[in-house]
Amino acid sequence: MDFHQHWSVSLTTEATQRIAMVVEFDGHFYHGWQRQDNATSAQATLEKALQSLEGRPIKTICAGRTDSGVHAEAMLVHADISQARWQRSARAYTQGINHQIKEGLIVTGVLPVEDDFHARFSCLERSYRYQIWNRTTPSVLAAWRHWWMPRSIDIDAMQEAIPYLLGTHDFTSFRAAHCQAHTAIRTINHIDIVRQGWEIHINIAANAFLYHMVRNIIGNLIQVGIGRWSPQQLADILAVKDRKQAAATAPARGLYFTNARYPNFSSRDWVGKEWRGNV
């Protein structure tokens, strides 16, 4: 066996450690999470940083794909890396990843997980927040971080519509035309609406979401908030199971992935924390 053959074998047989990374990124920099051939993605940016550390291509899996312009505060991503490199220093490994990334994305926490852990399939619940800038004039400080709505919004009316969305339903009326999910049945566990100054925050958590489901729900809730629809009409649109009967999709820039919950931890639990030998 020559040198090159030996080196190839050593790379493929090196012991690996599966890690879960909590990732924060600004969707303004990326054309979504998923790797693309002709655009910059959050996944490709993270994988490039990992490859620089590992000296080989690294595949990552996330809790939930995000569209172009959507942000993440605590996206959970798993990958298989060198066990020896990880065991030398978990802190140095995290710092090494972030050192490779110039802007737009940062790893805020890393922890080891079992080999059968899967960021997507092991996830019990995903959470998002949608931000609306509700003022007669827009903000120039961060226009890509919310949806500007100059009209008055009745939060109480929107709150009345929320119970119709909670629980397990067929959300065909709120899925994108190109959604590839085998079923439109999903379970929404929680929705709340909070006004903070000029901003309105809508938080929503479910076992999983369909393509554009959150943004479509927001677009329809706003119709209730501005008085165009009654809360009952939202229930009617859900029941008809027809996307064409629903309102337009809310812009991506106001949406944030905020948490992924697993049996033993949540992604938000590990933001800014260092692994010290136990989970």
Active site residues: 67
Distance CA 59, CA 239 (A): 40
Nearest to 127 by CA among 197, 31, 202, 196: 202
Tell me which DSSP letter residue 267 carries: G
Q: Which of 60, 64, 35 is nearest to 213 (CA)?
A: 64
- Residue whose C-alpha is closest to residue 75's, from 127, 126, 23: 23
Q: Are 220 and 226 in contact (CB under 8 A)?
A: no
- Buried-state track 5-34, b at ≥16 Cβ within 10 A, e below 16: eeeeeeeeeeebbbbbbbbbbbbebbbbbb
- The answer for residues whose C-beta is within 8 angstroms of residue 15's C-beta and 6 or more apart is 82, 83, 84
Q: Which tokens hold the place of 93?
A: 């490994």
> Which structure tokens are listed for 126?
């995903």
* Residue 54 structure tokens: 């590992």
Select from 117, 155, 153, 112 the least CA-distant residue to 136.
153
| DSSP β-ladder status, 199-206 and 125-133 | antiparallel
Tokens 């996330």, located at residue: 62
CA–CA distance, 70 with 26 (Å, rounded to integer): 7
